[in-house]
């Protein structure tokens, strides 16, 4: 039972609501009711302790606020959105992340900016949820991991329709023999897209987890080139940047990959990493350690793994 009289309860609730709900400064409220700012601060604290007011997070999307804050703080991110997924299945996680990523994109898109987007299943799911954007251009940041190039280009075209801006698709696979790569990039449409990469202001890139949660890794395996990459310790890709477990860049393989290079990627003012689910936990940690992402959108299971002490670091 409250130890405050009814009139005192009303006074405490008034002070607490003015501070917590209306955002007024404690000193301003204190001056209004004729008490010291220390007394006013104690009134706010006591109102909460006695249950006279309730402060709770109200986030419409299934975002774990505490995990998001912890992940952002641990890795020095601008922000993190950790999605509480009811299932760890690939399809369910992908759809949940795409839903939140689409809302983030809509909230942050600006008139006349240049948006970069990787092709792939998550990007397609994201793009199908975006109905309208300010007028902006959209650029495909890498070649396509799907055997059907049209499937990879879909996300770029969907965002282009939503924004009414110019689209810069990249009609090429992400992994290709070096000689073929040079020929593909000379094609006028692809050359136009490659030139536009340096103009990107915001990029949304998906995380690939090696060896089983990456379309790129699957392509490399199918042509028998995986040992070339495995011996270098690759466990993740972000755009066309390959990373080891410590987030270090694995170079020397650029001639096999089609898309934005690391220096151009690091020059983009806002870089958003989207990815999670089974098979991508180590890849997420690698991207976080690399410093390549300003914002991360992932699932709660992957976030918890990234926050755990790394046993390899203690070895």
Burial string for 60-72 (b: 16+ CB within 10 Å, else e) reads: eeebbeebbebbb
Residue 59 falls within a domain, yes or no? no
Partner residues linked to 237 by β-bridges: 208, 242
Could you give the dihedral angle defined by the CA atoms of residues 97, 103, 109 and 115, in that order, rounded to the nearest 10 degrees? 20
Q: Are residues 43 and 142 in the same domain?
A: no
What per-residue confidence (pLDDT) applies to 90?
81
> Which phi and psi (to 5°) does residue 107 adopt?
-65, -30
Separation of CA 108 from chain center: 12
Give the tokens for residue 285.
């940690």
What per-residue confidence (pLDDT) applies to 145?
84
pTM as predicted: 0.81
Query: How many Å apart are CA 30 and CA 172, to the nearest integer?
Result: 66
Q: Are residues 36 and 112 in the same domain?
A: no
Q: Are residues 289 and 208 in the same domain?
A: yes
Q: Angle, to 10 degrees, between the axis of helix 188-196 and the axis of helix 178-186?
A: 90
pLDDT along the chain (315 residues), means of 10: 73 90 90 92 92 75 86 94 81 92 94 95 94 97 81 89 96 90 92 97 96 88 85 93 96 89 97 93 96 96 89 47
Q: Are residues 33 and 78 in the same domain?
A: no
Residue 56 falls within a domain, yes or no? no
Q: Are residues 143 and 17 in the same domain?
A: no
Residue 264 falls within a domain, yes or no? yes
Q: Are residues 37 and 172 in the same domain?
A: no
Query: How many Å apart are CA 280 and CA 283, to the nearest integer?
Result: 5
What per-residue confidence (pLDDT) applies to 66?
87
Q: Do residues 268 and 202 lie in contact, with contact meaning Cβ atoms separated by under 8 Å?
A: yes
What per-residue confidence (pLDDT) applies to 82?
93
Q: Are residues 121 and 270 in the same domain?
A: yes
Residue 60 falls within a domain, yes or no? no
What per-residue confidence (pLDDT) applies to 59?
62
Domain containing residue 16: 6-49
What per-residue confidence (pLDDT) applies to 292?
98
Residue 281 falls within a domain, yes or no? yes
- The closest of 135, 133, 142 to 108, measured between CA atoms, is 133
Q: Are residues 198 and 71 in the same domain?
A: yes
Number of independent structural domains in the chain: 2
What per-residue confidence (pLDDT) applies to 42?
94
């Amino acid at each position: 039972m409250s130890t405050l009289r009814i009139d005192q309860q009303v006074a405490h609730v008034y002070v607490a609501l003015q501070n917590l709900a209306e955002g007024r400064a404690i000193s301003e409220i204190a001056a209004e009711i004729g008490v010291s700012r220390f007394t006013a601060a104690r009134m706010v604290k006591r109102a909460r302790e006695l249950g006279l007011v309730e402060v709770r997070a109200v986030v419409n999307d299934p975002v774990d606020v505490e995990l998001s804050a912890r992940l952002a703080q641990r890795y020095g991110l601008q922000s993190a959105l950790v999605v509480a997924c009811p299932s760890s299945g690939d399809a369910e996680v992908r759809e949940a992340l795409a839903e939140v990523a689409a809302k983030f994109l809509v909230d942050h898109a600006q008139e006349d900016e240049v948006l970069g987007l990787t092709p792939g299943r998550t990007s397609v799911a994201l793009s199908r949820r975006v109905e309208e954007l300010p007028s902006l251009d959209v650029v495909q940041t890498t070649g396509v991991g799907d055997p059907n190039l049209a499937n990879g280009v879909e996300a770029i075209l969907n965002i282009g329709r939503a924004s009414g801006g110019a689209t810069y698709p990249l009609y090429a696979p992400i992994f290709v023999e070096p000689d073929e790569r040079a020929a593909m990039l000379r094609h006028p449409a692809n050359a136009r897209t490659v030139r536009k990469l340096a103009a990107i202001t915001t990029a949304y890139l998906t995380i690939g987890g090696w060896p089983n949660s990456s379309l790129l890794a699957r392509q490399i395996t199918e042509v028998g080139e995986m040992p070339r990459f495995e011996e270098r310790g690759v466990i993740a890709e972000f755009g066309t940047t390959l990373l080891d477990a410590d987030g270090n860049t694995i170079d020397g393989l650029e001639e096999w990959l089609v898309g934005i290079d690391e220096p151009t990627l690091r020059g983009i003012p806002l870089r958003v990493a989207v990815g999670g689910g089974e098979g991508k936990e180590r890849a997420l940690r690698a991207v976080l350690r690399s410093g390549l992402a300003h914002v991360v959108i992932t699932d709660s299971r992957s976030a918890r793994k990234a926050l755990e002490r790394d046993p390899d670091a203690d070895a």
